[in-house]
Amino acid sequence: MSYIEEYYNYLLKYPKRAPLKVLTVYKKLVEDIKKPQKVSFFNKLTKENETHTYIFDEELGLRVIQFIEKYCKQSKGRWAGKPLILELWEKAFVEALFGFVDKDTKLRKYRKGILFVARKNGKSELAAAIATYLLTKDGEGGAEIYSVAAKKDQAKIVWEEAKKMINKSLALKKRIRTLVNGLFYDKTDSFFKPVSSDSNSLDGLNAHGVIADEVHAWKDKNLMDVMYDSMGARVQPLLLETSTMGIIRESVFDNEYNYSGKVIFGKVPDETLLAIIYELDKLEEWQDEECWYKSNPGLGTIKSISTLRSKVERANNNPTELTNLLCKDFNIRQVDTRSWLTFDELNNESEYEEFKDCYCLGGCDLSSTTDLTCATLMGYQNGELKVKQMYFLPSKNFDLKITEDKIPYDIWRKKGWLRVSKGSKVNYSDVTNWFVEQVEQFNLRPLWVGYDSWNAQYWCDEMKEYGFDMLEVRQGAKTMSQPMKQLKADLIDKKINYNNNPILKWCLSNMSIKQDENENIRPVKEKSRQRIDGAVSLIDAYCVFVEKQQEYLNFIGGE
């Protein structure tokens, strides 16, 4: 029996230890072992459609495991100098990553592996061992292996671990030169080096293996693109992403995490990605010790269960420690502790097929030059409160803004979440046109549109000319407090379907509050480059909803 099948049986035997995503992946892997599938996809390099039959070659997977356990030595604590003996979950992952190959060419199926797991479960050691195998035993001449992270110190973590493994192994030390700037395997003219986004040596790479470490801290998506593109000339390259969860939202990590989820559940076809995500399936599971294994597969062996118990006890007594515990020990995405909403409170991955043919309410937050402009429509349809938004940025310095903010505005634009106005500032007529478009194309009829009067007189007059009933929303705690509290309750109860809009999610995660002596609240942002405009636009719409709620409900028939 393969390690993949053995681990799948273990997950079935202990369902409270089995994260849904991991269980789903291993179920498919077992099915692929028993019945190899023909896979068709478009090859970006050859520009042609290809069909491959991938089989499971257990020997190829075992070869990597045996190499790690025979030659790679541990470097820390009481295990220092002892062989790195992999646990079942690690063996299953390695076996899957290296064991599925093309039936004819024997080239690997998976070009990209993702391992997201809570801290102190040995991911850096495993990644270092895999990198060492790619350096020495993968049959690639002139292999270039890179450990990559946002900063040089972070990039060196996996590389340093590999260096220590090699120095403690007589067999590896004899064959690999360990220098300050890299690890060199002269037999095949191969090397392993650390690089980072602040490095000057990212051009001209020809990577065979890339270890992308702690992706949760990456703000620059270009780094991932550069490393992935650097593997284009290799016949069976491997990019391995490892990370715990983090508090930076809608950046590189969220993109990788969300895409992986779509692949795992069959919403997006990608047979080149193996994504293993250890996480709690429900927030409340952090109080159930048996469920801790969902995010900590190495609990009790690699990771101390008594230490985790102590952390949980402290978090129960001191809520300020909870965010870090949930994020790093239970692998639940979080936001900055100063944020008004937790990530669990603001996150809603529900989507709707359409939002049209109904009466609704509007809100808008206009910008000058640096912030986003956001227009919002919200309304009840089939008993559900739906939200639709459009964001606007000026075209001048658009590319520079992507670089400075480290936010994927270009991707959001391609996916239709954001539009670009010509010039150095947003043309408010573009916002008007969006509202008109929603009326004419989708028959969404806003009864009132809320707006901040600052710098909005021209736009307000223009909207009125098109027949929109405009309602001023004063931007202060007295006006916004009650709508914000109602908005928060509705977000927590998942009553708002905002179509999984990534920009609104980002804006909500950036928003903090300021409270007056009467406990009235208003929105603020902690950092200058953070954007909260989408959240403010939604709050403006909620202010209209609170003020006109009974009239609106009467108008739509009491939904």
Which of 221, 250, 277 represents a domain boundary (last residue)?
277
- Would you state the pLDDT for residue 527? 66
Share of the chain above pLDDT 70, in %: 96
Residues 259 and 358 in one domain: no
Residues 148 and 242 in one domain: yes
Position 130 pLDDT exceeds 80: yes
Is 287 domain-assigned?
no
Report the number of distinct structural domains present in the chain: 2
Residues 28 and 142 in one domain: yes
Q: What is the per-residue pLDDT across 464-483, written as a single tens digit (0 to 9) for each?
A: 999 999 999 988 888 899 99
Residues 228 and 367 in one domain: no
Give the mean model confidence (pLDDT) for residues 81-103: 95
Residues 155 and 19 in one domain: yes
- Joined together, the tokens standing for residue 439 give 């009326």
Which of 277, 296, 327 represents a domain boundary (last residue)?
277
Residues 377 and 270 in one domain: no
DSSP secondary structure string, 412-443? HHHTTSEEEESSSS--HHHHHHHHHHHHHHH-
Element (H, E) at 254: helix 252-264
Residues 263 and 396 in one domain: no
- Residue 73: Cβ within 10 Å count: 21
Is 303 domain-assigned?
no
C-alpha span between 11 and 26 (Å, rounded): 9
Residues 72 and 154 in one domain: yes
CA-based nearest residue to 361, from 471, 460, 437: 471
- Would you state the pLDDT for residue 52? 83
Residue 375 vs residue 80, higher pLDDT:
375
- Would you state the pLDDT for residue 385? 94
Residues 44 and 156 in one domain: yes
Residues 229 and 357 in one domain: no
**Domain containing 503 — which CATH number?**
3.30.420.240
Q: What is the per-residue pLDDT across 161-196, written as a single tens digit (0 to 9) for each?
A: 999 999 999 999 999 999 988 999 999 999 999 998
- Would you state the pLDDT for residue 502? 92
- Would you state the pLDDT for residue 339? 83
Position 105 pLDDT exceeds 80: yes
Average pLDDT value for the chain: 91
Is 305 domain-assigned?
no
Position 78 pLDDT exceeds 90: no
- Would you state the pLDDT for residue 119? 95
Distances (CA, A) of 486 to 190, 397, 455, 493, 494: 60, 37, 27, 11, 12
C-alpha span between 149 and 553 (Å, rounded): 52
C-alpha span between 377 and 387 (Å, rounded): 6
Give the mean model confidence (pLDDT) for residues 405-426: 89
Of the pLDDT bands very low, low, confident and very high (cuts 50, 70, 90), residue 286 is very high
- Joined together, the tokens standing for residue 454 give 């600052």
**Domain containing 97 — which CATH number?**
3.40.50.300
pTM value is 0.81
Cβ-in-10-Å burial (0-12, 13-18, 19+) of 260 comes to buried
> CB–CB of 366/373 below 8 Å?
yes
Q: What is the per-residue pLDDT across 319-363, written as a single tens digit (0 to 9) for each?
A: 778 888 999 999 998 887 678 888 889 999 999 989 999 999 999
Q: What is the per-residue pLDDT across 1-10, written as a single tens digit (0 to 9) for each?
A: 999 999 999 9
Share of the chain above pLDDT 90, in %: 68
- Residue 200: Cβ within 10 Å count: 6
Is 463 domain-assigned?
yes
Distances (CA, A) of 467 to 93, 174, 395, 497: 60, 80, 29, 27
Q: What is the per-residue pLDDT across 13-41, written as a single tens digit (0 to 9) for each?
A: 999 999 999 999 999 999 999 998 887 76
C-alpha span between 138 and 271 (Å, rounded): 21
Position 528 pLDDT exceeds 60: no
Is 62 domain-assigned?
yes
Q: Give pairs for 493-496: CB < 8 Å, separation 24+.
A: 494/348, 494/350, 495/384, 495/385, 496/348, 496/378, 496/385, 496/387
Is 195 domain-assigned?
yes
Which of 260, 277, 294 represents a domain boundary (last residue)?
277
- Residue 348 sits at φ, ψ, to 5 deg, of -145, 110
Residues 271 and 356 in one domain: no
* Least confident window among 203-207, 220-224, 352-356, 484-488: 220-224
C-alpha span between 301 and 235 (Å, rounded): 37
Of the pLDDT bands very low, low, confident and very high (cuts 50, 70, 90), residue 46 is low
Residue 442 vs residue 220, higher pLDDT:
442
Residue 289 vs residue 203, higher pLDDT:
289
Domain that holds residue 81: 3-277
**Residue 61 is which amino acid?**
G
Residues 243 and 357 in one domain: no
Of the pLDDT bands very low, low, confident and very high (cuts 50, 70, 90), residue 518 is confident
Is 286 domain-assigned?
no
Is 325 domain-assigned?
no
